[in-house]
């Protein structure tokens, strides 16, 4: 948990909360979604997601478009600005982790390489 928390702090835009960054990452990974779908994926209440989407839209990081089948809903998608910010944050986190990894022994690095597929599986369960 401590490593995860420290890793989350390695982001480019300090004004965004971890939840807001997570919403952008979900949109980048899964594609466009309704606010309700995003709320379910992020485990937040729909009114909270509505506020998050409005804030992200105000910063130019997402855009809302009419739902193609249901005019009562909107579809949220990330912008190019969000993609660039996520990539820059990813590069920053990777550099930070690489710096940490330099202090590990060859044996410790070997253990990490063996554990990586298991950790990846756990992350996607």
Q: Tell me if the pTM is above 0.75.
A: yes
- β-strands 74-78, 62-66: how paired? antiparallel
Q: Are 46 and 39 in contact (CB under 8 A)?
A: yes
The top-level CATH class assigned to 2-123 is: mainly alpha
Q: Are 42 and 29 in contact (CB under 8 A)?
A: no
* 21 membership: H or E segment, kind and range: helix 18-30
pLDDT tens for the chain, 125 residues: list them: 888 888 877 877 778 888 999 999 999 999 999 999 999 999 999 999 999 999 999 999 999 999 888 888 899 999 999 999 999 999 999 999 999 999 999 999 999 999 999 988 998 77
> 97-100: long-range contacts (C-beta < 8 A, 24 or more apart)?
97/7
Q: How many helices (H) and strands (E) does the chain have?
A: 6, 2
pLDDT at 33: 95
């Amino acid at each position: 948990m401590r490593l995860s928390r420290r890793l989350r702090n390695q982001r480019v835009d300090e004004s965004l909360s971890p939840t807001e960054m997570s919403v952008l990452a979900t949109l980048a990974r899964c594609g466009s979604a309704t606010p309700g779908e995003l709320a379910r994926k992020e485990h937040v209440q729909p009114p909270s997601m509505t506020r998050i989407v409005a804030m992200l839209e105000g910063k130019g990081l997402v855009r809302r478009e009419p739902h193609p089948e249901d005019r009562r809903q909107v579809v949220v998608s990330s912008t190019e600005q969000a993609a660039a910010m996520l990539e820059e944050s990813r590069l920053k986190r990777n550099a930070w982790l690489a710096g940490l990894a330099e202090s590990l022994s060859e044996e410790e690095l070997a253990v990490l390489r063996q554990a990586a597929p298991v950790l990846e599986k756990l992350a996607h369960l």
